[in-house]
Chain A
């Protein structure tokens, strides 16, 4: 295997993202069109019918599959494929696009991530009863399974999780397209009703509708679109054993994140992620998921997350800002869109166009991370300025 085969070969030249939220008045078509046409405009694409040669899309709850995107954008007579990979769906769709461009076959590829969970009439996952095992099948219940062991081993607690929620609520107020724009306090988070211990209401991401899109091209063609293009330095996907079945699991980490991190750091040649990554969007479906990601991604030592949470390492003005747009917590979590939305945020931050939430110090390398399922699927993308 040649880990460096795709490093810096593919450039992002345009990105778009619709407003995330409970978009009762919007079809998937509306959100896909808004995101894609913003990306077209950003890339200077005025004739997508000619310029977009292939489409990779991702959605976890599609009603039609790839045709939902082809029909919305009238992109026919070319490959349109849909990718499904739990909450890493958006990142994985982007990854397929990157490989399609890096192969040299396509000059310009459109990536679209979207989801419309709010048409299902439930706040959260649909509880479809397909068996008697694996119940309760609630993501909060699954992602909370590291809490008891982690708290006992490292002395962390609900207050540490609450501080993550407070941070992400603050960052979300600064992002125009985020779903929730409300500051909260640690006490608000601690006193909220419990969804699945230790997660209270504010420990859980806001499930929302949304779509995000990217136009990617070969590095040598990027200049024809814009000067401030952003390169894809590394992108990886890893599946781990289901943590609920894995006989060797210690419930102190999510192994899929560790596995995917090894892939992308090898691809990018990163030895010290804490210093070499300047900002990150990590999967905060629940606050503990973000806490574990700090450690599993190598931003700090295993067990040290609570110290960094207290000292503000990952705050917007910290040394390694995380979830600068509010994360899944407040920006919203339309599953298939989330990975692409994170790349959108990193792209804007590296271009210095993140307005009120712009991180200081001219960042040049940014990471995005998704993990989903039980969880057992992780996708990570590192983007960088040339």
Chain B
């Protein structure tokens, strides 16, 4: 039996109200978040309490990669401190990439090329400011551990069709997703192709809507989603809520996020139908096992939806996405030295500290001589990214350029090591000495035009 052994989710804390505050809203990545940072967040949620060394492969799915050439999956693997000999692959170019990755992972495990595959889907898609399309989008990520042992949701029949259509697209150099006229998009794109896919699946495998406990369906907007589910013969109570007005269409991560939300409430013996769409469509049928009810300790979608803070203005959203000019362009500057970054990868990307074998003192960053007992080269690595620390000191800096001043920075005590780091997703009034914090992978700046990642602290919520 091959299927999902664990799952996790990440939804950014910030919400952009779509109308009056308190009404419908969408999740928006903070200025220091992108598909990679959110993907790391979802993967951390998925791998909580699991042996990270057992992960054999990472499949990352997104349509919003910061790099056109440079792999996101390899960054994620390094941030998660996975094995050196992990197989990494990026999938993209379609909102279907998340479900495609889940299917590919299943095939890898079935074929025996990997025992455990981490699937991560994340997207931060942008449409033109104030366009109707923009209001339907949302940012988020989901992750699944696919394997053959202790399976919580076994993958059964799968079905896919490819479809050549210009309905939703984004071209090189264009930051915005575009869509053709919506009736065409629904009638001949999304609605027609999903109906064809699901009917084909039913016909081939001999079951129908009544045999499905939950439909996990991608949708470009709430109306098309509901209409398509109804046309397929599903009752409203069979639908996983598409989260429009709360999260929004998270692109390649939408069907995966909805699947994570379904698994949170799933019980043993349920048949789930997962459908992704984009240049065709892809369906996976899952059967839940007793394990699904025993998976605990993850935050999933519900925890992240409850953790929310409203962006004070639309203007701030534009500033976060660098859609309006500011005095200090975050992309300015020569960027990091590639050789310095190369030497600092363990420290900066994996957040590896050291513990002195002789005196036990943890210290950060990498040292050759111990701070406490002065022993030379007597260190063993100590991963700090998954530890809870406490705030030892802090300041609110208005002088350092930030799209959302003041920049909160301070000293965090993690296992006895001290880290001078920024604090994110926090209001200054929340910050207290001794408060517990966890670490979150973020963009520190974009000097040189590339995302430059490091870890920040954030209040343990």
- Seen from chain A, the residues whose Cβ lies within 8 Å of a Cβ on chain B are 124, 127, 129-138, 140-141, 144-149, 152, 193-198, 241, 244-249, 251
Which chain B residue lies CB-closest to A204? B399
Contact present for B400 and A138 (CB under 8 Å): yes
Contact present for A245 and B418 (CB under 8 Å): yes
Given A138-B397, A145-B395 in contact, is the A245-B371 Cβ separation under 8 Å?
A: yes
The number of A-B residue pairs with CB atoms under 8 Å apart is 117
Contact present for B399 and A130 (CB under 8 Å): no
Q: Whole-angstrom distance between the alpha carbons of A145 and B419 in the complex? A: 12
Which chain A residue lies CB-closest to B442? A132
Q: Which of B364-421 contact A (CB under 8 A)?
A: 364-365, 371-372, 392-402, 406-407, 409-411, 416-418, 420
Selected interface stretch from B177-185, B206-214, B228-236, B340-348: B340-348
Which chain B residues border A148 with CB–CB below 8 Å?
Answer: 393-395, 410, 433
Contact present for A197 and B406 (CB under 8 Å): yes
Q: Whole-angstrom distance between the alpha carbons of A244 and B421 in the complex? A: 9
Which chain A residue lies CB-closest to B337? A130
Which chain A residues border B87 with CB–CB below 8 Å?
Answer: none
Question: Is B104 engaged at the interface, CB distance under 8 Å to the other chain?
Answer: no
Query: Which listed residue, B348, B372, B395, B398, touches A132 by the CB 8 Å rule?
Result: B348
Contact present for B336 and A196 (CB under 8 Å): no
Query: Which listed residue, A124, A130, A251, touches B392 by the CB 8 Å rule?
Result: A251
Given A148-B433, A241-B371, A251-B411 in contact, is the A136-B399 Cβ separation under 8 Å?
A: yes
Given A133-B348, A145-B410 in contact, is the A127-B401 Cβ separation under 8 Å?
A: yes
Complex A-B: 7 CB contacts under 8 Å:
A132-B444, A133-B365, A136-B397, A141-B409, A147-B393, A197-B397, A247-B362
Contact present for B372 and A248 (CB under 8 Å): yes
Question: Is B86 engaged at the interface, CB distance under 8 Å to the other chain?
Answer: no
Interface 1/0 per residue, B433-461 and A, CB below 8 Å: 10000000000110100001110000000
Interface 1/0 per residue, B35-48 and A, CB below 8 Å: 00000000000000
Which chain B residue lies CB-closest to A137? B400
Contact present for A131 and B393 (CB under 8 Å): no
Query: Which listed residue, B336, B402, B411, B422, touches A129 by the CB 8 Å rule?
Result: B336
Contact present for B398 and A134 (CB under 8 Å): no
Contact present for B420 and A133 (CB under 8 Å): yes
Question: Is B333 engaged at the interface, CB distance under 8 Å to the other chain?
Answer: yes
Which chain B residues border A134 with CB–CB below 8 Å?
Answer: 420
Which chain B residues border A196 with CB–CB below 8 Å?
Answer: 395-400, 406
Which chain A residue lies CB-closest to B328? A127
Contact present for A248 and B393 (CB under 8 Å): no
Contact present for A132 and B365 (CB under 8 Å): no
Contact present for A246 and B418 (CB under 8 Å): yes
Given A132-B453, A149-B393, A245-B364 in contact, is the A195-B399 Cβ separation under 8 Å?
A: yes
Which chain A residues border B416 with CB–CB below 8 Å?
Answer: 247
A-B pairs, 8 with minimum CB distance = A136-B400, A244-B420, A132-B454, A197-B396, A144-B395, A132-B444, A129-B447, A196-B397
Which chain A residues border B348 with CB–CB below 8 Å?
Answer: 131-133
Question: Is B363 engaged at the interface, CB distance under 8 Å to the other chain?
Answer: yes
Given A131-B344, A248-B372 in contact, is the A149-B392 Cβ separation under 8 Å?
A: yes
Contact present for A247 and B397 (CB under 8 Å): no
Question: Is B361 engaged at the interface, CB distance under 8 Å to the other chain?
Answer: yes
Other contacts beyond A127-B400, A247-B362, A248-B371: 17, CB < 8 A: A130-B336, A136-B422, A138-B399, A140-B397, A141-B395, A145-B393, A145-B410, A148-B394, A195-B399, A197-B396, A197-B397, A197-B428, A241-B371, A245-B418, A246-B371, A247-B372, A251-B392
Contact present for B333 and A147 (CB under 8 Å): no
Residue of A131, A132, A194, A246 with highest tally of chain B CB at under 10 A: A132
Interface 1/0 per residue, B344-357 and A, CB below 8 Å: 10011000000000
Residue of A134, A136, A148, A196 with highest tally of chain B CB at under 10 A: A136
